[in-house]
């Protein structure tokens, strides 16, 4: 029940929208990591129901540009800013099932991303939070 090639590309795009990396913060892009290999291991180790949920989440994000942006496109064909907008909209959805499913992608992505040695090392470095900015997403009301 492994994800197919195109599902892996969609998943990678979705996770890239969530964890795009930041030169300023010294954080790498999740797409530089082995996203498909990681998801393959996840799918092999979780119950089939959870694997199905992950796959469903991938499809939802993949096709969401049509409903969120009104564009006949998949997540992979969008620019980074639009990908982020699509995923942010989904995790803020008023529909509990929908936002919970998409949060699976953030959860899985977090396990991979923050499990990376370089990212962990960067996260452990003390910083000055004065540089924090307000979330840019309009009407940000989600847990996200």
Partner 1 sequence: MSHDSHHHDDHEHEHAFFPDEQLPEGSVVDGASLSRDVDEAFDFVVVGSGAAGAVAAHTLARAGFAVAVVEEGPWVRTREFGEKVSEAFTRMYRDAGTQVIEGHAYVPLIQGRCVGGSTVMNSAIAHRTPEDVLAEWDERFGLGSHISARVLEPHFDALERELNAHAVDDAVLGENNRLFLDEAKHEGLPAGKMRRYERNCRGSGRCVTGCPNAAKQGMNVSYVPWALALGARIYCSCRVDRVVVEGGRACGVLAKTTGEGAAKTVRLRARRGVLVAASTIQTPNVLRRSGLRARAIGEHFQCHPGFGLGGVFDKPVTMSFGATQGAESTHLRKTERIKLETIAMPPELAAVRIPGIGHDLMRRMGVFSNLAVWAVVVRAEAEGTVRQGWGARDKVRLDFTRRDVERTRKGTAILARMMFEAGAREVWPGIYGLPSILTRPDQVRLIEEAPADSRLFSMITTHLFGAARMGLDPATSAVGADFQSHEARGLWVVDSSVFPTNLGVNPQHSIMAMSRLAATRIAEAAGRTASAA
Question: Binding residues for partner 1, per CB under 8 A?
Answer: 17-22, 25-27, 38, 41-42, 45-50, 80, 83-84, 87-88, 91, 96, 99-100, 103, 106-107, 110-115, 119-120, 122-137, 140-144
Q: Is the dihedral of CA 2, 4, 40, 61 positive or negative?
A: negative
* Cβ distance to partner 1 smaller for residue 9 or 85: 85
Cβ 7 to partner 1, closest distance in Å? 18
* Cβ distance to partner 1 smaller for residue 66 or 135: 135
* Cβ distance to partner 1 smaller for residue 70 or 138: 138
Contact 54, 43 (CB under 8 A): yes
Cβ 77 to partner 1, closest distance in Å? 17
Cβ 138 to partner 1, closest distance in Å? 12
* Cβ distance to partner 1 smaller for residue 9 or 109: 109
Alpha helices, H only, 1-144:
5-18, 35-45, 48-68, 80-91, 96-113, 117-124
Q: Taking the CB of residue 71, how many other CB atoms lie within 10 A of it? A: 13
Q: Is the dihedral of CA 69, 72, 74, 80 positive or negative?
A: negative
Q: Taking the CB of residue 118, how many other CB atoms lie within 10 A of it? A: 12
* Cβ distance to partner 1 smaller for residue 53 or 72: 53
The 8-class DSSP code of residue 27 comes to: B
Cβ 4 to partner 1, closest distance in Å? 21
């Amino acid at each position: 029940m492994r994800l197919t090639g195109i599902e892996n590309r969609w998943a990678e795009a979705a996770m890239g929208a969530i964890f795009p990396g930041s030169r300023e913060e010294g954080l790498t892009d999740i797409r530089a990591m082995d996203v498909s290999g990681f998801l393959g291991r996840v799918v092999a180790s979780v119950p089939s129901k959870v694997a199905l949920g992950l796959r469903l989440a991938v499809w939802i994000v993949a096709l969401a540009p049509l409903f969120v942006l009104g564009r006949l496109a998949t997540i992979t064909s969008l620019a980074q800013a639009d990908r982020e907008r699509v995923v942010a909209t989904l995790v803020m959805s008023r529909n509990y099932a929908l936002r919970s499913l998409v949060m699976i992608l953030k959860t899985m992505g977090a396990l991979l991303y923050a499990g990376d040695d370089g990212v962990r090392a960067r996260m452990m470095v003390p910083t000055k939070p004065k540089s924090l900015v307000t979330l840019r997403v309009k009407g940000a009301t989600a847990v996200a």
